[in-house]
Structure 1
Amino acid sequence: MAVSVVDIATFEAQIRSSYSDVIGAKLGGAVHSCSDEFFAEASNLLSPRAPIRDKTRYTHQGAWYDGWETRRHNPAEADWVIVHLGVASARVVGCEIDTAFFDGNHAPSISVEAAFIPTGAPDESTEWMTVIARTECGPTQRQFFVRVDGLTKECYNYVRLKMYPDGGIARFRLYGTPVPVFPAMLDTELDLASVGNGGVAIACSDQRFGTVDNLLLPGRGIDMSDGWETTRSRISGHEDWVVVRLGARGAIRSVIVDTAFFRGNFPDRIRVEAIDAASDEAALAKEAIWTVVAPTYKAEPDKEHPLKVENSLPATHVKLVMIPDGGVKRLRVFATRLL
């Protein structure tokens, strides 16, 4: 199974913009177990924040590192860490391995395996499938690996990252498509923008201070860092926007736009539009016709805004518009699924 090593621009355009990090701590991903974490804890791999280095900081074990680092001289083929996904299950397409500040003690190579375990947890009998074949790593850099075959056909809820034979990795991001478990009844209202239900932010005007994928996370977050915030505009009539592909085609019943923690930089006004499109390309086309489902509304700081839906039309994508700019924490789009 071939793996393509790509640059950051390609990864951003092809993977990050169309798929979700299904193991990140923001989404509820968590370390289940690991072979060793003598120098630095494996849970650091899933931190949403960029790794840092403090050369003056030491622990009882040695120099402090913001990542996962194991002992030297591993007698086994590889050290490993098992992560439980933050979603019910997912199909996998690629990953990011960041060895920032690990130079001389970095992992020489890695592989990623996955399994679906309906009940219980991984054990010695678990059959792991390779989703990212063994690939070389370099020191202190972000590295991007993409499956040449595209998304896995199977869905998984556990992944195992191996590093050969030992060393350190700062961050691990695994991208794919969440596969939700929907209720049998179609008339059940669900947040179809939620990443847990398959929602993906596929395009935006700007994400200078906070990324659009944060909009679809569970909960209200911890501060402004895990929201979406744009550059201050200086042009009359400016609007910032994000397009979200819903996890399923649905009839929109209600919308909530949350400006939690945005107190001096919330948008002046907000609006929500929708479209019923056959593909992302059709939704993003210049001639695409969007319908306003929640009219322009005067926004307030640090508050959930339940917006009145005037057009409960079938929709596959929604567009959140900020006028003229600012920051939003979460977007909820409650809808009933349509066949």
Structure 2
Amino acid sequence: MSNKSSTWYGVNLASERLGAKAIYASDDFFAPKERMLQDQDAVFIEGKYDDNGKWMDGWESRRKRSEGYDFCIVKLGVSGQINALDIDTRHFTGNYPPAALVQACYSLTDPDADTNWIEITDTVALQGNQQHIVHVESDQVFTHVKLNIFPDGGVARLRVYGQPDIDWQAVDTSKEIDLLALVHGGRAIATNDEHFGSMHNLNLPGKSLNMGDGWETRRRREPGNDWVIMALGHPGEISSIQIETSFFKGNFPDSCAIQFANIDDLPDSSLAAQSLYWQELLPKQPLKADNEHLFQEAVLKVGRVTHIRLNIFPDGGISRVRLFGKPSFD
């Protein structure tokens, strides 16, 4: 999920790390369907073959010798509204599908013959060795997508970008949870710098994989500090904060501080300027290299929180941020 395009379309709901699964393919003779959901970009390995032919990093069906087309059904890691798709055929040149169409559904069980699939794209012409960004105009919530390729061939990666939709009535709120977690709808909104690592990595599930799997700014050569603004998945009261600098050893920030806001009706575009005046949630705290920092006593009791501004001094890298608390429903 560290991969990013020039425009942010939302969370990759089809991320393997989020729990997305390729649950059925009409055919995956040459390359298994599961590879299509891997988070890292596809690679090409010259001279690598397996029992069925050339090893390819993606999903690839055999050459069709009859009527019909191939398809793959993917269960999203979290349900959500879909804003855009990336149908990525990189490294597939003479074996990519000429066209594709994507359908989606909402189902609490695995889709079957009676599932009502909704077309969320037109038939899209594909090219080889290329990413295809397809915009989706729908406000519906989906749990599964069905990638149809015509008639056969290979797709390196499928990304399904959107906003998670959380059924908070089904969440166990008897214990504290990470209200900033991506799986709970948390999201990064704005930052002054993300030269080496994306702000959208900060609330990914699990531990970071390496230094590139966090948020890292360039070396600051002028006064000031770097910052990122994030929205909680649900308003809540924060009792503890975890800041991780895993893998950041010679480039971790000297310290950090967190400001907060309790707002419901301001557009995202206005938050950077507004955040200059937000109050403290976590006063300035020293950080260590390659470490997990848990702050409890230092966290101020401020009541309802909807947004935070994480400030790092003066620059550097953070791998993960967790805000633990209970959601507020009033």
Q: CA deviation at 1:239?
A: 1.9
Q: Does structure 1 residue 22 correspond to structure 2 residue 13?
A: yes
- 1:140 paired residue number: 129
Q: CA deviation at 1:133?
A: 2.5
Structure 1 gap segments, 5+ residues each = 1-8
- Tell me, yes or no, if the aligned pair for 1:187 and 1:337 is still in contact at 8 Å: no
1:88-99 correspondence runs (5 A):
89-99=79-89
CA distance in structure 1 between the aligned counterparts of 2:274 and 2:176, rounded to whole angstroms: 31
* AA at the equivalent of 2:248: F
1:12 aligned to 6, 28, 37, which one? 6
Higher mean alpha-carbon deviation, 90-99 vs 279-288, is at 279-288
Q: 1:74 to 1:281 in 2, by over 3 A?
A: farther
The C-alpha deviation readout for 1:258-310, integer Å capped at 9, x for no partner, is 12232332221111111223231332336752222111111112222122212
- 2:185 paired residue number: 198
- 1:43 paired residue number: 34
2:316 aligned to 309, 326, 334, which one? 326
Q: 1:248 to 1:74 in 2, by over 3 A?
A: farther
- Tell me, yes or no, if the aligned pair for 1:57 and 1:63 is still in contact at 8 Å: yes
The C-alpha deviation readout for 1:209-236, integer Å capped at 9, x for no partner, is 322222111221333332222222233x
Q: 1:287 to 1:225 in 2, by over 3 A?
A: closer
* AA at the equivalent of 2:35: N
1:1-339 correspondence runs (5 A):
12-13=6-7, 15-16=8-9, 19-73=10-64, 75-87=66-78, 89-118=79-108, 120-147=109-136, 149=137, 152-183=138-169, 189-235=176-222, 237-277=223-263, 278-279=265-266, 280-285=268-273, 289-307=277-295, 308-338=298-328, 339=330
**So what's the TM-score if we normalise by structure 1?**
0.87
Structure 2 gap segments, 5+ residues each = none
Q: 1:179 to 1:321 in 2, by over 3 A?
A: same
Q: 1:284 to 1:102 in 2, by over 3 A?
A: same
Q: CA deviation at 1:157?
A: 1.5
**What is the Cα-based RMSD across aligned positions, in Å?**
2.3
Pairs aligned (count): 322
Q: Helix, strand or coil: the match of 1:133?
A: coil
**So what's the TM-score if we normalise by structure 2?**
0.89
CA distance in structure 1 between the aligned counterparts of 2:280 and 2:12, rounded to whole angstroms: 30
Q: CA deviation at 1:188?
A: 5.4
- Tell me, yes or no, if the aligned pair for 1:39 and 1:71 is still in contact at 8 Å: yes
Q: Helix, strand or coil: the match of 2:200?
A: helix
